[in-house]
Amino acid sequence: MLHIVACIKQVPDTKIIKMNPKTNTMDRASAPAILNPYDAHAVEEAVRLKKKYGGTVSVLTMGPPPAVKAIKKCIELGADEGYMISDRAFAGADTLATSYALTKALEKIAKQRPIDLVICGKMTIDGDTGQVGPGIARRLNIPPLTGVKKVVEINKEKGYAIVHRKLEDGYEVVQSTLPCLFTVEKDINDISFAPLPNMIKAARYQPTIWTADDLEDVDRKQLGLKGSPTIVSKVWAPPKPEGGELLEGSTKEKVEQLLSLVLAKKELFQ
């Protein structure tokens, strides 16, 4: 029986978010909070592995109270248990402080039920660093396998996992000892349709919520803003491109103008 924990984050939908042009901050009201799309694939993969090998899927998030909604979404996707760590002490965390807090929570979860596999998304769509997953793996001292696009085998008895890791021009087949941590690509799976019983369970579900005091052996200096070596010092809107010249005339004339622009680079065609 496997115990898989997927780490998930609630994020603003950056595709439709509007920025306040004066303050360069996000107008949070303009964008709904969603489950980070990559994390949906992490949960989906965990649920598929559970179906194949048997076991339990837990999800863990660090975030403000409304992030409960993201956990409920994961329950819909088939997760069994949800854990949330939420405390002002965690606020302002960079990736180092985030991986520290999540690791402390994972250690507490593991005391209740030992963990075989941690799955993270490739990255979030807000901070989008992709640094939290490998950070957790180092802190737990388990191998990080980044860019996983296929899980070939998990063998708990013999204590190994075999996966395909995406490379720039192909993939590699890697074997790792268990427990280990995956960060997963989007193409690892397609999200299944949530079955009705899951939706009903999700609607009623209340996750376990811990504050910083509930975690064990926590060094408060490593949490939140205090524990973050990086500082966001300045935020600005990316320079607006000036815009191009629109070609005028009939379709035929436009095509001819374009032709001469392209063919002017004649070294490309000789």
Q: Per CB under 6 A, which of residues 181..220 are in contact with ligand FAD?
A: none
The Cα–Cα gap between 49 and 29 comes to 37
**79 and 59 in contact (C-beta within 8 Å)?**
yes
60 Cβ contact list (under 8 Å, min separation 6): 5, 6, 7, 8, 82, 83, 84, 85, 102, 105, 106, 109
Q: How far is the CB of 123 from ligand FAD (least distance, A)?
A: 4
Helix or strand holding residue 28 (H, E): none
Judged by CB under 6 A, does residue 146 bind ligand FAD? Answer: no
| Amino acid identity, position 131 | Q
Judged by CB under 6 A, does residue 14 bind ligand FAD? Answer: yes
123 vs 148 by CB, closer to ligand FAD: 123
20 vs 211 by CB, closer to other proteins: 20
**2 and 53 in contact (C-beta within 8 Å)?**
yes
Question: Which one-letter DSSP state was computed for residue 79?
Answer: -
User: Among 71, 89, 132, 202, which residue interacts with ligand FAD (rule: CB under 6 A)?
Assistant: 132
Burial degree of 113 (CB within 10 A; 0-12, 13-18, 19+): middle
Helices (H), 14-121: 37-53, 68-77, 95-112
Helices (H), 60-163: 68-77, 95-112, 132-140
Judged by CB under 6 A, the stretch of 59-67, 198-206, 207-215, 236-244 that binds ligand FAD is 59-67
137 Cβ contact list (under 8 Å, min separation 6): 118, 143, 144, 180, 181
Q: How far is the CB of 42 from other proteins (least distance, A)?
A: 16
What residues does 180 pair with on adjacent strands? Answer: 117
Judged by CB under 6 A, does residue 126 bind ligand FAD? Answer: yes
Judged by CB under 6 A, the stretch of 95-103, 142-150, 198-206, 208-216 that binds ligand FAD is 95-103
64 vs 196 by CB, closer to ligand FAD: 64
Q: How far is the CB of 192 from other proteins (least distance, A)?
A: 17
7 interface partner picked from ligand FAD, other proteins, none, CB below 5 to 8 A per type: ligand FAD
24 vs 175 by CB, closer to ligand FAD: 24
Using CB under 6 A as the binding criterion, the count of chain residues that bind ligand FAD stands at 33
**4 and 18 in contact (C-beta within 8 Å)?**
no
* Residue window 232-261: x/- pattern of binding to ligand FAD, with contact defined by CB under 6 A: x-----------------------------
Q: How far is the CB of 186 from other proteins (least distance, A)?
A: 8
10 vs 198 by CB, closer to ligand FAD: 10
197 vs 219 by CB, closer to other proteins: 219
Q: How far is the CB of 269 from ligand FAD (least distance, A)?
A: 25
